[in-house]
């Protein structure tokens, strides 16, 4: 099997899960708490509850300045460029 195709498919699956599946799942399973009940809680507990209510999903692959995407992009670009060069050389022979 061609490793370049596998690399592209793996990268696509990782991106789909990190940007579509996990945020959707977290959105449907979000922590809920009645707003009128929050006022009755201790202020320190209110802070924790409000933090859980407003926390958004942070994609794992964007941590570290997006180095994950830069490295996959370099691999895919390098394989595409060298693949085109090999095809040109084979065509000239």
Q: Could you tell me which residues come within 8 angstroms of residue 60 by beta carbon, excluding any fewer than 6 positions away? A: 18
pLDDT per position in the chain (93 positions), as tens? 688 889 999 999 999 999 999 999 988 888 777 878 888 899 999 898 888 888 888 898 998 889 999 999 998 888 878 766 666 666 655
Question: Residue 64: which domain range?
Answer: 3-92
Q: Could you tell me which residues come within 8 angstroms of residue 23 by beta carbon, excluding any fewer than 6 positions away? A: 57, 59
Cα separation, 35 vs 52, in Å, equals: 13
Sequence length of the chain is 93
Q: What is the largest CA-CA distance in the chain?
A: 81
Q: Which two tokens stand for residue 34?
A: 């009645």
Q: How many domains does the chain have?
A: 1
């Amino acid at each position: 099997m061609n490793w370049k195709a596998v690399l592209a498919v793996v990268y696509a699956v990782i991106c789909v899960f990190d940007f579509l599946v996990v945020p959707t799942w977290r959105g449907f399973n979000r922590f809920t708490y009645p707003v009128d009940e929050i006022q009755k809680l201790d202020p320190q507990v209110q802070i924790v509850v409000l933090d859980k209510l407003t926390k958004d999903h942070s994609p794992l692959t964007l941590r570290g300045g997006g180095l994950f995407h830069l490295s996959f992009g370099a691999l895919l670009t390098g394989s595409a460029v060298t693949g085109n060069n090999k095809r040109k050389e084979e065509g000239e022979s």
